[in-house]
Amino acid sequence: MADIQQLRTQLAISLGTITGLRSAKEIPDNPNPPVAIVQLSRVEYHMDFKNGMSEYTFQVQVIVGRQDDRTAQRKLDAYCSSDSDSSVKGAIESNRTLGGYAYDCVVTEMSSYGTVLINDTYYLAAEFAVRVLAS
């Protein structure tokens, strides 16, 4: 079975290549935006004979501050774009084997774009689903 910590670490490293975006491989108590937080959401075992492969689904939540609503939305839009320099999809898929720990890694969707409340503060956020195939 793949080392979940290594998969999570490699995803955070990929996200850290986006200029100005912090990345967290573990869920912080007090996020410091802009930040991308990598979370494991599910594992499907026995994808191949003799348990040779599993499918890991990670959720990457990108949070930006809302000091200025227009600026926050434009920043989040850039993270959601598939082809901008700030693209979450582009950053993750630039390292599809996650440093050799996975067979493949793709961002399958972006969802939940909107306002979130964390510790009595409102932020703007989006969530990305990342599918990782690994043994």
Question: Tens of pLDDT along 96-113?
Answer: 999 999 999 999 999 999
Domain ranges of the chain: 4-134
pTM of the full predicted structure?
Answer: 0.93
Give the CATH class of 4-134: alpha beta
How far is 30 from 11, CA to CA, in rounded Å?
20
pLDDT of residue 130 exceeding 60:
yes
| 95, 14 Cβ separation under 8 angstroms | yes
